[in-house]
Structure 1
Amino acid sequence: MKREHATLLIGEMLDRLEEQQWPVGLVTEVHLFGSYLRGALDVGDIDVVVQHITDTEWLRHVLSAMTSGSDGYVLLRQALRGRRRGFSFQFQQRDSLEAEGFELLLLWRAGEPVSLARERLAALVPDADAGPVERDFVLPAYEQLASSLPRPVRIDLHRLCTEERAHVTAIPLPSEEPRSVTATEHLKRRWIGHSPLRGAAAAALAHLENTGRPLGRTIVHGKPLAPGTSDSEQSCFIDLRWHYWSRMQRYFDDGQSWFEVLPATPRQPLHALLITPRSGRG
């Protein structure tokens, strides 16, 4: 995105910080890093580090998310960015990023007026010579999609691949519908016709079907395609937009493949990563 648009998005995030509604009111620090901080005129994602405290309601929310296997930070991420896309949030990662040598700029700290954050933002000088920051923990298998992968995901994939425990394949997903009646009924029960999640799930199921994988042994975004089957009977987990990524290691350790459908963007049509255990049955 153009730097001007990125600046607008950051300004809108500061508006939400100023309102201090829950859970944004838990935020204690916001830092910028990456290509925007370096002054790049074209920014991939806006890299933001967020530090926060917890309260009883947040702990209850996180526990519920852990129980369901979903990402507890979805709520805070959406509260900070609103309906906008283009942010890459790193939560509670200030110390680890600084230890790795990343340059961070404090944009806002709890107790400061947001006007001070706006002054810091305005003081950042564009630099025509500053290109995009090369993303770390990137391997050739998913290099072209690296901008769509959150940093914690890249770290997980890099570890699994360098330890020779996983094989990762990037797959373009055309807009298709599965032929299976069971799959079609499953999609109909869960999503309305024009839902982006439905389209992503349909494309994933169609791909697995076209490549000869048994759909009856597939979990689709947290629910088995074949009712009444247990986790141990599954061979592949289809996840949409990283929602269940926190479950990946458990299923992977059981020898199951993971099929992660990445969010589509105007510049990047629908793609998926097929993550297969090297010694698994998936």
Structure 2
Amino acid sequence: MLKEMLQRLDAGGPWPLELVDAVYVFGSSARGALEPNDVDLAVDFRQDEAMRQRLIAYLVSSGRDPRIDLRQALIGRKRGAQFQFGAAERERLEGDGVVMLRLWSRGMPLAAALAVLDGIQEDPEAGRAQRDDMAEEFEGWDRYIPQTSSVARLGRVSHPAARNSSFSSLTASPLAGLFDMSAPAGPHILPATTRMRWPSACPRAVVKSGCRGGQSSNW
């Protein structure tokens, strides 16, 4: 999948592929995991007028998220990849200590990009990064929520003092019948009765992560 993506970028293409400036790989794939759950990719891209207009339409109405078009331009309709779009998001992840490996940037020869990809050494011991800073109240959610999502970041406590602060607290409150946490991890964790109860979509926090019409999708 990654080699095909690099070939697409090298060949160039129409909108929105022409907006991509750089692609980074991170997470277990960058560490050489033999069987990663998915490939984590960060994409720096420029926002031209067409992209800005489509993003605005998506945010204020029920328009299609143009980042879906960008994702499909990169890897087609293949699954198995998690995308973080925008240099600001990448820089925020780097600020959290996430190590990024630049696979490709505009003007980079295909041979050089493939050399970077082939240079990732396989490591049978590589896996998900240790999450010692994840609050216990969020235990188990990493099976359903990408580690780079806003909800996952909320569950991490960077400074021990924050947990003991009198200004904030975390409490786990199970909602019986809403989520089946014993079910295998997958893109659809809301039961059918809940989707019927919320036909417009999902809670706003989930909508912003890509949930439409009661069904979630990963970029």
TM-score, scaled to structure 2: 0.70
Contact 2:179 / 2:191 at 8 angstroms: preserved in 1?
A: no
CA shift at 1:261, angstroms? Answer: 4.8
Q: Please, which of 7, 12, 20 is the counterpart of residue 15 of structure 1?
A: 7
Q: Please, which of 31, 43, 54 is the counterpart of residue 38 of structure 1?
A: 31
CA shift at 1:141, angstroms? Answer: 6.1
Which structure has more relative contact order (CA 8 Å, sep 6+)? It is 2
Contact 1:28 / 1:110 at 8 angstroms: preserved in 2?
A: yes
Q: Deviations over 1:241-282 (max 9, x none)?
A: x5x33699xxxxxxxxxx965569xxxxxxxxxxxxxxxxxx
Q: Please, which of 219, 224, 243 is the counterpart of residue 198 of structure 2?
A: 219
Contact 1:204 / 1:238 at 8 angstroms: preserved in 2?
A: no
Distance 1:124 1:35, change over 3 A: same
**Number of the residue aligned with 1:89:** 83
**Number of the residue aligned with 2:57:** 64
Amino acid at match of 2:191: A
**Number of the residue aligned with 1:172:** 180
Contact 1:33 / 1:102 at 8 angstroms: preserved in 2?
A: yes
Please state whether the residue corresponding to 2:71 is helix, strand or coil: helix
Q: How many residues align?
A: 196
Residue 133 of structure 2 corresponds to residue 158 of structure 1: no
Amino acid at match of 2:92: S
Q: Deviations over 1:43-93 (max 9, x none)?
A: 111111111111111111111111125644222223222111111111122
Within a 5 Å distance, the mapping from 1:174-193 to structure 2 comes to none
| Contiguous gaps of at least 5 residues in structure 1 | 1-8, 174-196, 210-214, 223-236, 249-258, 265-282
**Number of the residue aligned with 1:123:** 119
Q: Deviations over 1:87-123 (max 9, x none)?
A: 1111122222222222111111111122211111011
CA shift at 1:20, angstroms? Answer: 2.5
Distance 1:263 1:49, change over 3 A: closer
Distance 1:129 1:164, change over 3 A: closer
Q: Please, which of 27, 52, 71 is the counterpart of residue 20 of structure 2?
A: 27
Distance 1:16 1:166, change over 3 A: farther
Distance 1:63 1:35, change over 3 A: same
- More strand as a share of residues: 1
Instruction: Write the distance in 1 (CA, Å) between the matches of 2:73 and 2:135.
Output: 32
Distance 1:136 1:262, change over 3 A: farther
Residue 183 of structure 2 corresponds to residue 204 of structure 1: no
Q: RMSD of aligned C-alpha atoms?
A: 3.9
Q: Please, which of 128, 133, 136 is the counterpart of residue 129 of structure 2?
A: 133
Contact 1:13 / 1:80 at 8 angstroms: preserved in 2?
A: yes
- More helix as a share of residues: 1
Distance 1:102 1:205, change over 3 A: closer
Contact 2:198 / 2:214 at 8 angstroms: preserved in 1?
A: no
Distance 1:140 1:44, change over 3 A: farther
Contact 1:69 / 1:247 at 8 angstroms: preserved in 2?
A: no
Contact 2:27 / 2:129 at 8 angstroms: preserved in 1?
A: yes
Distance 1:171 1:205, change over 3 A: same
- Structure showing greater Rg: 1
Instruction: Write the distance in 1 (CA, Å) between the matches of 2:82 and 2:132.
Output: 14
Distance 1:131 1:112, change over 3 A: same
Instruction: Write the distance in 1 (CA, Å) between the matches of 2:174 and 2:17.
Output: 36
Contact 1:238 / 1:260 at 8 angstroms: preserved in 2?
A: no
Instruction: Write the distance in 1 (CA, Å) between the matches of 2:210 and 2:144.
Output: 19
Contact 1:44 / 1:147 at 8 angstroms: preserved in 2?
A: no
Please state whether the residue corresponding to 2:30 is helix, strand or coil: helix
